Amino acid sequence: MLAIEVIVPQSAPRRWQQVAIERLAADGHDVAVLHQPGPAGWPAAAKAAFRFEQRLFRRHGPHLADRVHAIQARPGNRPAALRLDLAGNAALSDVPTIGLLFDGSRADLSAATAVATGRLPVIEAVLDRKAVVGQARPMVDKRESTALGTEDVFARAITLVRSVARAFAAGRLPHEATAETRGHGERASTAFTSAYLGAALPRLGREALRRARFRHAHWRVGYRFTDAPGVAETATLGTGWSVLPDPGDHFYADPFPFWWQDQPFVFVEDYPHATGKAVISVVPFDAGGLPGTPRVVLEEAHHLSYPQVFERDGAVWMLPEASAGGRLMLYRASSFPDGWVPEAVLVEGEISDATLLEHDGLFWLFATDRDGHGSTSDMLVVFSAPALTGPWRPHPANPILIDHRMARPGGAFVRNREGRILLPVQDGTLGYGGGLGLAELLQLDQQAVRLSAPRPIDAAGDWPYPKIHTLNRAGRLEVIDGIAAVRKRSGKK
């Protein structure tokens, strides 16, 4: 791999910089560490705010934003082919140098300020202070918390550093745009304090009041039978939706329809609020299109969701999300629809919403990977295999993208009437479950994966819960889900 010289602040380095060095070394790079006088430390207001929120949310360290005593300098074994400036102010050199910009600033405090303001910061990797050669749009899962949100951002700074190092080593570093740098920002301390007091604290208070009255999240499944073009064709929810009833003490989400012997079924994530661990249930429909009582068909020691069900080679298969268990397991129906047995582990790791596609003689999986830290909704990875059970290999360009607007799949691939392949993708701009888009698959081979910018799905119609994050269709049966406001004391809207 590469001989890399990583430049860090001599005083007040942060744990995200230390972890980035550790991950680069784990990737096989020859890593040297150099010190550089860094920017001023974070203001007292930021330190106090982070300590307060970490106690409030019971998040014990270490945290990526933590100041570490020192990152030890060390030489490399070879002359550096690449420099990574994590201090933000290294002088230019004959050796190509990549630095990070947080919302256009070389100060990592700008990431915390953006999150406090309520914005989702953009991280850019910039070569020799000129060309943007990599970009990350991190997802912030808990918008009410500046400390936890900043943790999500720094997690993807680490991912971006690893990604651009791999791309440089492979000779495929893109040049996307010209960078606009604001420097360290002399008023960084004042900007954070103003943002936290004026925006972050009121937002935190509003969320505390909401959670005192309402469930944190309660999803509802919608269904309709139609012969007309569906949402994937029109990019509009439209009308004719019915709501799958739920008892209020648990919810249904992530619906996947499947027809078996001319009878429709819908498989769902079934989440009891009391346990906080979901199982997979099935909802049978009768000949008149009315749903029966949901019943549990698959339970594990860990959380399950996103039950993609499909038929192939004379068998019925299920590929549920099981990131909490640390591996993606393929199940085979031993007695449809109630009996399921593990068939094979496809991928190890915190893989979320893996979505299957057969294309050009190979099987492909599109999913998100947490990469050790941060959100599960902003880093798209792709795997391929010659057979359903594997062996599955990661795409050489992983991560394909880091983007909260389109990284996480939101349903099975769709081939429309024009033969284009579309993937429903979650848009986290307004938060998790904030909306869906339809991205066209433009290129898929062992060299590259390209998706179009998503076409947003218009929520106009009679579906009462416009914040959706799953879309699927099988034959005449189309399903979606949406997040509802459900009061805690009654379990009713």
User: How confident is the model at residue 271, as a pLDDT?
Assistant: 97
pLDDT of 102 over the 80 cut? yes
User: How confident is the model at residue 407, as a pLDDT?
Assistant: 98
User: How confident is the model at residue 41, as a pLDDT?
Assistant: 81
Residues 313-357 have pLDDT tens digits of 999 999 999 999 999 999 999 999 999 999 999 999 999 999 999
User: How confident is the model at residue 145, as a pLDDT?
Assistant: 97
CA 170 to centroid of chain Cα atoms: 25
Task: Report the relative pairing of strands 177-178 and 3-9 from DSSP bridges.
Answer: unpaired
Buried b (16+ CB within 10 A) or exposed e, 130-162: ebbbbbbbbbbbbbbbbbbbbbbbbbbbbbbbb
Question: How many whole angstroms separate alpha carbon 270 and alpha carbon 292?
Answer: 15
Token pair for 354: 């893996």
Residues 113-141 have pLDDT tens digits of 999 999 999 999 999 999 999 999 999 99
User: How confident is the model at residue 177, as a pLDDT?
Assistant: 60
For residue 4, what are the β-bridge partners?
A: 31, 82
Question: How many whole angstroms separate alpha carbon 283 and alpha carbon 261?
Answer: 15
Distances (CA, A) of 343 to 324, 390, 486: 19, 11, 38
Residues 468-482 have pLDDT tens digits of 999 999 999 999 999
Question: How many whole angstroms separate alpha carbon 248 and alpha carbon 397?
Answer: 43
HEC per residue, 248-300: CCEEEEEEEEEEECCEEEEEEEEEECCCCCCEEEEEEECCCCCECCCEEEECC
Q: How many helices (H) and strands (E) does the chain have?
A: 7, 31
DSSP assignment of 179-217: -----S-TTHHHHHHHHIIIIIHHHHHHHHHHHHHB-S-
Q: How many CB atoms lie within 10 A of CB 375?
A: 26
Strands in 263-272's sheet, in edge-to-edge order, are: 250-260, 263-272, 279-284, 295-298
Residues 437-473 have pLDDT tens digits of 999 999 999 999 999 999 999 999 999 999 999 999 9
Token pair for 444: 């898929």
CA-only gyration radius of the chain, Å: 24
Residues 227-284 have pLDDT tens digits of 999 999 999 999 999 999 999 999 999 999 999 999 999 999 999 999 999 999 999 9
The answer to whether the beta carbons of residues 262 and 276 sit under 8 Å apart is no
Token pair for 403: 């983007």
User: How confident is the model at residue 331, as a pLDDT?
Assistant: 98
All domains in the chain, ordered by first residue: 3-212 (3.40.50), 214-483 (2.115.10.20)
Residues 65-78 have pLDDT tens digits of 999 999 999 999 99
Mean pLDDT calculated for residue range 195-210: 95
User: How confident is the model at residue 84, as a pLDDT?
Assistant: 98
Question: How many whole angstroms separate alpha carbon 286 and alpha carbon 356?
Answer: 28
The answer to whether the beta carbons of residues 349 and 326 sit under 8 Å apart is yes
Residue 1, C-beta contacts closer than 8 angstroms, at least 6 positions apart: 27, 28, 29, 30, 169
> Can you give the length of the chain in residues?
493
Residues 39-49 have pLDDT tens digits of 778 999 999 99
Residues 419-429 have pLDDT tens digits of 899 999 999 99
Compute the Cα dihedral for 395, 444, 166, 16 and give only its sign.
negative
DSSP assignment of 38-60: -PPPPPHHHHHHHHHHHHHTT--
